[in-house]
Amino acid sequence: MTKRKPTTAPATNDPPHLQPGSQVEISSNDPGFRGSWYTGVIIKRPSSKKPNKFLVQYTHLFEDEAGTTPLKETIDAVDIRPLAPRESTRKFKFSEEVDAYYNDGWWEGVITKELENGNFHVYFKRSKEQLEFGEEQLRLHREWINGSWTPPLAGDEQVKESDRAVTEAKMKFNKVVNQEKLKRDNAASKKKSKSGLAGSGEKLGSGKITMDKIFCKGAHVEVTSDEDGFEGAWFAGTIVKVVGKDRYLVQYESLRTDDDTDFLKEEFDDLHIRPCPPEIVMADRFQKLDEVDAFYNDGWWVGVISKVLSDSKYEVYFKATKEEMKFEHSELRLHQDWINGKWVAAFQDLVRYIEFGESFGGMWRRPVCYCLDFARSC
């Protein structure tokens, strides 16, 4: 009697989400696709010689224009995760990190504005673009770290009492912030830039006069690169000269030439340069899930606190490399994004840590720093 060939690949000793037939999300390091996740199904492990590779079939990506042949690719295990959980209903807020569904994939961004029509402006760090999305096209951004979702789904047993306290503080803090936001929005409405329909891009290029004053010869700045191995890192430097429209020659403060005779100089466009972020005074230690910049190899690398080891030591997870490293408190700073001429920090971080003159429930914060104008001092 001959054995029948199995119709599906046999189970393996891999984690549940890497078993044949499992529905997953897949990321790509290809230029133009970083920061996005596409749904698919695990087909099999191609070869025992490639233990960390898996053959996947995409759900919404196809090999042909007609959309009849689903695309299949061999993907590294670190670029595969389970389907991200999503709350059935959620009220999104300004400055929350979200995934936006666009072009058949989920793209990581941050909410920069709540619109009167109920939609949201979402800013994408990698492409420096802003798009409009409805609430049904968004989900809270989560990271798959060490076999669990961070932050956990609301209602999950892993949700801590401290998280609920922060949520209550948010509601109180919103009352203070909304007045400041309303003033900014009213002022901004007088100088509206062209806006497209949902799904069309809006380059953040307003405030050119201010930018010209900020990015001038001798200005201290931070620069970043899209080169492999440097994604998510910012290095300090000084503008040597303006070499053209929105292009600058920058001399690094710590990186040197190959022959070590001088500090390295490189040209950058306006998408890869920003002012040095203002210092945010920490009133307490960092907490798990806080987004931070970690000083490593002469640069500031964007990461997330994955574990608090002590009052002065932390484990930081880096999305770009899928790595974790240990850092002292003095080697970390609260992460901020330079968006449309303003510094914006993650809401939950500011609500815990910015120390100033008003307190809600024992937590100190400075509402004016919720969205920072470059001209204002922290």
DSSP letter string over 114-159? E-TTS-EEEEETTTTEEEEE-GGGEEE--EEETTEEESPPTT-TT-
- The mean pLDDT of 92-110, rounded to a whole number, is 91
pLDDT, position 11: 54
**What's the pLDDT score for residue 353?**
47
Dist. CA 110–CA 342, nearest whole Å: 14
- β-strands 148-150, 143-145: how paired? antiparallel
Query: Which of the residue ranges 222-236, 324-338, 356-370 would you say has the lowest mean pLDDT?
Result: 356-370
Q: Are 234 and 226 in contact (CB under 8 A)?
A: no
DSSP, collapsed to helix, strand or coil, labels residue 33 as coil
What would the mean pLDDT of 95-117 be, rounded to a whole number?
A: 92
pLDDT band at 35 (very low <50, low <70, confident <90, very high): confident
Mean pLDDT for 115-135 is: 90
At residue 299, what are phi and psi to the nearest 5 degrees?
-140, 170
Peptide bond into 85 cis (omega under 30): no
> Helix H segments across the chain?
161-189, 208-214, 347-353
User: 314-349 pLDDT, tens per residue?
Assistant: 999 998 788 899 999 999 999 998 887 888 876 545
- Is the pLDDT at 2 greater than 50? The verdict is no
pLDDT: which is higher, 283 or 205: 283
Contact of 97 with 108, CB cutoff 8 Å? yes
Tokens 């670029």, residue? 79
- At residue 137, does pLDDT exceed 50? yes
359: confidence class by pLDDT, cuts 50, 70, 90:
very low
Give long-range contacts, CB 8 A cutoff, 24+ apart: 310-318.
311/285, 312/285, 314/286, 316/292, 317/143, 317/145, 318/232, 318/294
Please determine, for residue 356, whether its predicted confidence score (pLDDT) is greater than 80: no
- By percentage, how much of the chain surpasses pLDDT 90? 40
* Model pLDDT for residues 14-25, shown as the tens digit of each residue: 788 899 999 999
Residue from 161, 157, 25, 176 nearest 104 by CA: 25
The separation between the first and the last C-alpha atoms of the chain, rounded to the nearest angstrom, is 79
CA distance 337 to 331: 18
Residue recorded with tokens 């046999």: 10
Task: Calculate the average pLDDT of the chain.
Answer: 76
Q: What pLDDT does 177 receive?
A: 40
Residue found under tokens 């002469």? 298
pLDDT tens digits, one per residue of 52-79: 899 999 999 999 888 889 999 999 998 9
Percent of the chain with pLDDT over 70: 72
| Contact call for residues 294 and 332 (beta carbons, < 8 A) | yes
pTM comes to: 0.52
The whole-number pLDDT of residue 127 equals 80
Q: What is the pLDDT of residue 322?
A: 82
> Taking the CA of residue 96 as centre, how many other CA atoms within 13 Å lie in the half-sphere pointing to its CB?
19
Distances (CA, A) of 180 to 94, 166, 174, 176, 295: 13, 21, 10, 7, 32
Cβ of 345: how many Cβ atoms within 10 Å? 24
C-alpha Rg value of the chain to the nearest Å: 23
User: pLDDT: is 168 or 334 the higher one?
Assistant: 334
299 pLDDT higher than 60: yes
